[in-house]
Amino acid sequence: MQSLRATPNIAGRRAIDAAGSRTSPSTRRAVTRSPVKSTAYLTVDPDQYDPDANSGRGSGFVPGTQSSGAVSSGVRPSRVTRGADGVVYDPDQYDADANQRSGQAASRPSGGSARQTEGSNTVDPRFALLFDCDGVIVETEELHRKAYNASFKHFGLTIPASGKVEW
Amino acid sequence: MEYYDVLANTVGGGKPKMRYHFDNNGWPAFFGGSQVPASEEQKSAMVDALQDQKTEFYKEIVESTATAR
């Protein structure tokens, strides 16, 4: 990792360790991957084509920490961002591997009063993601069935040949 | 219960489920009557009414009994 900081890396470039020899395959994989996934060593804003990214929940890249046009691989952009609502958040808070990938460059928000929610890796419980309630978080098929039967009953639905309709 | 499982895994969507069921078992009449929908228009009107009412019941059921698993 140390040699990477001194040498700005780009995707596809082979990692060479301090002695100049290639690293072992397993190390090379880990070392070459991290700069690609992390914005910590980037000198260009990865969201440069996304006008909304820095005003909302972008990559956390902070252009102000870099001098314009200069290559400054030693500068670590802060990963902690204050949102438009004034709340400080970690853009990687839902990404459990972010801190590992970026070599701890993805720091966590400090000074927040909200405590970590037990049983989850949520950093700031003021934010939550709920996804796919229907049939995943809540078993709804049985509720749909009951609702259909209630509707059939409401209309006194009967099939002349076979009687009441019930699912 | 078992029949609804089959239905749920055979036909997607509430209105198509009803159509599927009625096409296979005969179209029903409202309020125990004998007048079943004959035209496509009448069938659609019946299925729409049943689905709208079902949605109202579903909202009530979800609010009163649904729990996360």
Per-residue pLDDT in tens (0 to 9) along chain A, 167 residues:
444 444 444 443 443 434 444 444 444 444 444 444 445 555 566 666 665 555 555 555 555 444 444 444 444 445 566 666 666 666 666 666 665 555 555 444 455 444 444 566 767 767 777 677 788 888 899 999 999 999 999 999 999 888 999 99
Per-residue pLDDT band for B47 (boundaries 50, 70, 90) equals very high
Which of chain A's residues have a Cβ under 8 Å away from the Cβ of B50? 148, 151-152, 155, 157
Per-residue pLDDT band for B23 (boundaries 50, 70, 90) equals very high
Helix or strand holding residue A88 (H, E)? strand A88-89
From the list B49, B57, B67, the residue facing A150 with the nearest CB is B57
Size of interface A-B (CB pairs under 8 A): 88
What is the dihedral sign for C-alpha A138, A142, A146, A152? positive
Which of chain B's residues have a Cβ under 8 Å away from the Cβ of A159? 22, 25-29, 36
* Phi and psi at residue B68, to the nearest 5°: -70, 145
Which of chain A's residues have a Cβ under 8 Å away from the Cβ of B27? 159
Distances (CA, A) of B64 to A142, A143, A149, A152, B56: 14, 11, 17, 20, 13
DSSP bridge pairs for A134 = A138
Residue B13 backbone zone (phi > 0: left; psi -120 to 50: alpha; other: beta): left
Question: Side chain identity at B4, as an amino acid letter?
Answer: Y
A 10 A CB-CB count for A32 gives 18
Distance from CA of B43 to the nearest CA of A (A): 13
Q: Which ipTM was obtained for this model? A: 0.95
Tell whether pTM > 0.80. no
